[in-house]
Amino acid sequence: MILLLRFLFIVISGIFKRRIDPLDESRLVLRVWPNDLDLNFHMNSGRYVSFFDLGRVDLLVRMKLLVKAVRRGWRPIAAGAIVRYRRSLMPFERFQLRSRVLGWDEKWFYFEHRIERINGDLCAIAQVRGLIRGAEGNIPPSDFVAFAGQPGLSSPAFTTVLTQDPLA
C-alpha cells in the first residue's frame, strides 16, 4: 500500500515538475519507512528494485508521456536487472534515487538507477533492461523516442552486460 501511495505522489508531483528530455536524469528524494525494512532492520533488497520502478515512472511522467502512452494502451515492462548493493540504508534515512536512460537498441531500453545517501554515498546501482508493450506487441524504442517528440534521436553509445541474453 505504501508503494501505491508513493507511486501516486510521484505521478501527481511529476505533473508540476520541469519537463525533461529522454536522455535527462530524474532525481527523487525518498525516505526509508519501517515497512521497507528486512529482518536486519535495513532497507530490504527487494524494495530497492521497487524504487527503481518508481524511478522509471518518474522519467515517463517528467517527459510528459505517461498519460499519452497509457491512452494508447502502452505499458512499460522491466525484463532484466543487475543490481550491486554497496551500503545499507537505515530506518527513516533520506536518500536520493537518480534514474536515467543509458540508451536503446532495436528492442530494449537500458536504464541506470542509483540510490545514494543525501551526502552522495552510493548505496546501490542497477542496470535495468525494459521495453514498451502495446496491444500490437512490443513498441520499438525508436518509435517511442519519436512519440516523445525526438524523432531521429540516436541512442548514445553505452555498455551494459544486459545486452547479452543468456537464454537466446
Degrees to nearest 5, angle at CA 161 with 155 and 166 = 115
Q: Which residues contact 125 (CB under 8 A, 6 or more apart)?
A: 83, 84, 86, 112, 113, 114, 115
| Closest listed residue to residue 105, CA positions, set 136, 66, 138, 72 | 138
pLDDT digits (tens, 9 = 90+) for 110-128: 999 999 999 999 999 999 9
- Report whether pLDDT(98) > 90: yes
Domain boundaries, the chain: 2-161
pLDDT at 89: 97
pLDDT at 152: 84
Degrees to nearest 5, angle at CA 60 with 154 and 13 = 145
pLDDT at 159: 81
pTM of the model: 0.91
pLDDT digits (tens, 9 = 90+) for 25-82: 999 999 999 999 999 999 999 999 999 999 999 999 999 999 999 999 999 999 999 9
| Three-state SS at 11 | helix
| Three-state SS at 168 | coil
Note the CATH architecture for domain 2-161.
Roll (3.10)
| Three-state SS at 61 | helix
- Report whether pLDDT(167) > 80: no
